[in-house]
Structure 1
């Protein structure tokens, strides 16, 4: 369990779902529908805008835990606390982001703040992140969102929920959805070894992530 250095005790489900756990069983317990908007300016990736809408069960757990005045709703102060806890809980997991350029990982700056909302009985988390340096589109760039502990399943239900703002006309974009059975078959030994070496999470879990790929080099 990740220590969050806060006075109130977080429900175990909330901590494990948003921060991972070394005792996690390798299948999801929490589900979120997501949207990712990649912001391009002057031919370079400048930022990522994330929106996650969590399932009803997890959302109700958060409501019960953070509804300090017991009015069955989350006011602005309570939502601010939710956002702070989520931000701290997933920080060590790069905020569930995977960004590569030319096949190499891109350093991302940790977002200072998040926004939490509670609409139609569902928790919504929004935040914007930025690469440490703007990413030029002279190599193939990929973006994904995944929980390396497998505890939270973050799903893009429609291809259009992975979008690019100001994509240059010379570039193409593609949504890649890995076949889970095929990925397991191709990486069986590596996945087994990685799980026993680090059951709390490892980079191999990214093979299951839905990704957005931008390719400008092929058209340059």
Structure 2
């Protein structure tokens, strides 16, 4: 029964509300995140790293019954089933992770280096998503957006180092976390969306949620 409950909780945390729309949806799960970009030896972007810290409400439900030895802590092996269930659910939503170079969507592979921890009263999931084909950031702006298009889950950058870089980043490049849209910009966006039909998209690849997501970019001088 507890196994079924944990699976249901994982699905709840990582499934968008079927009837939700950008105009009416409200978050039910809150995540504070850090994102990273991994460069290979050739100076290409080879992967992105994600670290998500969950709100206390979700954590208390997700952790219920996982302290098998009753010692008051959550060992990696005790959290492993939850990690597996979360990643399985996330796969159906492309891990809420969208990568583009010059506006063109880049395919991502299966997650690696995945794990979960519970320290300081906070539950955190971390994993890495390799790019199917590494990209050269000097050929155009690299953009990473993490968001739920149905707004069931709220993703917000947090911490003193919300973005990181590892590997051989070209000297002419730097990471830039662009600001969130202002209230005035959000109102303009909402007003514009109210005039569109349910099937409208900003362009041929992006969706509603992309308009509200905070971009993490790699920008390189010519």
TM-score, length-scaled by structure 2: 0.81
Distance 1:37 1:190 in 2: 31
C-alpha spacing 1:188/1:17, structure 2 compared with 1 (3 Å): farther
**Poorly superposed stretches of 4+, deviation over 6 Å:** none
**What are the ranges of 5 or more consecutive residues in structure 1 without an aligned counterpart?**
1-5
**What are the ranges of 5 or more consecutive residues in structure 2 without an aligned counterpart?**
201-205
Q: CA deviation at 1:28?
A: 1.2
**Higher share of residues assigned helix:** 1
Distance 1:214 1:76 in 2: 33
Residue among 174, 190, 210 paired with 2:193: 190
Q: CA deviation at 1:11?
A: 6.9
Match of 1:33 in 2: 32
The superposition leaves residues 104-136 of structure 1 with CA deviations (integer Å, 9 ceiling, x where unpaired) of 111111215621111122211010111110011
Distance 1:116 1:32 in 2: 14
Q: CA deviation at 1:20?
A: 2.1
Distance 1:74 1:206 in 2: 35
| RMSD (Å), alpha carbons | 2.8
The superposition leaves residues 1-23 of structure 1 with CA deviations (integer Å, 9 ceiling, x where unpaired) of xxxxx962337554222222314
Map 1:16-165 → 2, pairs under 5 A? 16-24=12-20, 26-41=25-40, 42-64=42-64, 66-67=65-66, 69=68, 71=70, 73-111=73-111, 114-137=114-137, 138-158=139-159, 160-165=161-166
Match of 1:3 in 2: none
Match of 1:174 in 2: 176
Distance 1:191 1:81 in 2: 42
Distance 2:190 2:140 in 1: 26
TM-score, length-scaled by structure 1: 0.81
For these two proteins, the number of residue pairs brought into alignment is 208
C-alpha spacing 1:113/1:39, structure 2 compared with 1 (3 Å): closer
Match of 2:211 in 1: 207
* Preserved contact between residue 172 and residue 215 of structure 1 (Cα < 8 Å): yes
* Preserved contact between residue 30 and residue 153 of structure 2 (Cα < 8 Å): yes
Q: CA deviation at 1:187?
A: 5.1
